[in-house]
Amino acid sequence: MRQGPGRVLISREEIAVRVGELGHAIAREHAGHVPLLVGVLKGAAVFMADLIRAIPAPIAMDFMGVSSYGPGTRASGVVRLTADLSVSIEGRYVVIVEDIVDSGRTLDYLRRNLETRHPRSLRVCALLDKVERRQVDVALDYVGFAIPDRFVLGYGFDLGGLHRGLPDIHVLEEQAADKGPAASLAPSAAGST
């Protein structure tokens, strides 16, 4: 049995409504300022693209890349920077944009890293919050959906680098090899993302 995208957990319509609400909340709380949205690669790229278009005010954007230290070692808690910002954030109103907060280690690392650069404010917007997985207490200012401890695929979420382009968020399920194109795209082994 292969694994791939199963039932839809959050539909594209539900995502669109919630992203719209998040965009308006960010605009409201940054009224009179131009927030700098910092997307965390790669998963947040899809969410970021929709979120910036849902903010009815001028924004700036940039990206950072982070990774667990070495393959399969997320549990070690060691996070490293793989791509840095291209601009200074000193005195800026910064919003970190994450696709998901799981253990909280990535976000904890990012917060600490960005705080040393003296932003005027530092808020966090996460599409998904896997609350029950939390190991490090991190504050979230804007949350799309709290979800149970299920592996998710689509809308930026991958399995071995695949399925990020699916418009809905699916749960990972076992699939018969002949189930169709989604199953045939499933990787034989989880690879680097």
178 catalytic per annotation? no
50, 62, 99, 102: which is the annotated catalytic residue?
102
Any contact of residue 50 with ligand PRP (CB under 6 A)? Answer: no
In the bound state with ligand PRP, the residue whose beta carbon lies nearer, of 50 and 102, is 102
Radius of gyration of the chain (CA): 17
Distance CA(36)–CA(38), nearest Å, equals 6
Q: Which residues within the stretch 102-131 sit at the binding site for ligand PRP (CB under 6 A)?
A: 102-107
List the x/- string, 133-172, binding to ligand PRP by CB under 6 A.
-------------------------x--------------
Any contact of residue 43 with ligand PRP (CB under 6 A)? Answer: yes
Q: Which residues within the stretch 19-38 sit at the binding site for ligand PRP (CB under 6 A)?
A: none
**CB-side neighbour CA atoms (13 Å) of 125:** 27
Q: One-letter amino acid identity for 92?
A: R
Give the shortest CB-87-to-ligand PRP separation in angstroms: 20
CA nearest 157: which of 171, 141, 176? 171
- The residue sitting closest to ligand PRP, measured at its beta carbon, is 43
In the bound state with ligand PRP, the residue whose beta carbon lies nearer, of 2 and 74, is 74
Query: Three-class SS of residue 1?
Result: coil
Any contact of residue 99 with ligand PRP (CB under 6 A)? Answer: yes
In DSSP notation, 33-93 reads S--EEEEEETTHHHHHHHHHHH-SS--EEEEEEEEESSTT-GGGT-EEEEE--SS--TT-E
Q: Which residues of this protein are in contact with ligand PRP, per CB under 6 A?
A: 40-44, 74, 98-107, 158, 193
